[in-house]
């Protein structure tokens, strides 16, 4: 006598991490519209109810995906910002810019999702804090450079906005194929130099 089919067992040691990894792959290959907890459960071979242990709905999954992206990006930015203090501000800023653009080039779909969730009024406090940390790496570097007399005085957060807008603009142009990623990264030193020194003749 044949047995009735049963639900697939919950067998992943770290289902949350597996769901996020699968969700990011789906985002990259098919777009945000294809994200579904039920489909992710099917892909991972677990019961359709298993993802509910970690994400109550699709919005929670997307928030977690964006948060994971910010945490990975912030780790790269923090490492870059910790370059030796005997380097010039321009060298340290270039290292940070390279870390940001490197993440953007490798994860264009995830970066777009991260910025979309950043501006959503329903985003979690945890995600808001992660966004603040990403800008904090630049702000701290700018404040330090001001203390050392390397750059002009002024509101470090306003200067951070200018720098971040310039870098994100490059990332957006690369994502839209208006700029070639390799050429942009190769010319990043000059971009940062222009950003720091402006266009006035010297």
| pLDDT by residue, tens only, the chain of 202 residues | 444 444 444 445 689 999 999 999 999 999 999 999 999 999 898 988 888 888 889 988 999 999 999 999 999 998 888 867 688 999 999 999 999 999 999 999 999 999 888 777 777 788 888 888 888 888 999 999 999 999 999 999 999 999 999 999 999 999 899 999 999 999 999 999 999 998 877 6
In the structure encoding, which two tokens stand for residue 159, read together?
């200067």
Could you give the CA distance from residue 65 to residue 51 in angstroms, rounded to a whole number? 14
Contact criterion met (CB below 8 Å) for 103 and 73: yes
Q: Give the pLDDT score at 4.
A: 40
* pLDDT for res 2: 42
* H/E element, 149: none
Is residue 93 within 8 A of residue 80, CB to CB? The reply is no
96 and 137 Cβ atoms separated by less than 8 Å: yes
Q: Return the residue matching tokens 């060298």.
A: 91
Angle (nearest 5°) at CA 168 between 167 and 172: 125
Residue whose token pair is 């049963």: 6
Task: Give the residue from 178, 166, 33, 36 showing the smallest Cα distance to 109.
Answer: 33
Handedness of CA 24, 25, 29, 34 (dihedral sign): negative
Tell me which H or E stretch contains 24: helix 15-30
pLDDT value for 13: 62
How many other CB atoms are found less than 10 A from the CB of residue 85? 8
């Amino acid at each position: 006598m044949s047995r009735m089919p049963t639900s697939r067992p919950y067998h992943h040691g770290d289902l949350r991490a597996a769901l996020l990894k699968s969700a990011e792959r789906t985002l990259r290959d098919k777009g945000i519209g294809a994200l579904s907890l039920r489909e992710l459960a099917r892909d991972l071979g677990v019961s359709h109810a298993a993802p509910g242990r970690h994400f109550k709905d699709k919005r929670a999954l997307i928030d977690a995906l964006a948060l994971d992206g910010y945490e990975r990006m912030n780790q790269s930015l923090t490492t870059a910002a910790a370059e030796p203090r005997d380097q010039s501000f321009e060298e340290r800023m270039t290292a940070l810019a390279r870390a940001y653009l490197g993440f953007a080039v490798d994860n264009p779909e995830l970066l777009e999702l991260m910025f979309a969730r950043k501006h959503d009024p329903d985003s979690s406090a945890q995600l808001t804090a992660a966004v603040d940390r990403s800008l904090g790496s630049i702000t701290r570097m700018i404040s330090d450079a001001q203390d050392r007399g390397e750059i002009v005085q002024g509101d470090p957060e306003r200067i951070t906005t200018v720098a971040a807008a310039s870098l994100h603009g490059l990332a957006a142009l690369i994502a839209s194929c208006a700029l070639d990623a390799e050429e942009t990264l190769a010319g990043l030193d000059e971009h940062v130099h222009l950003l720091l020194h402006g266009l006035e003749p010297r």
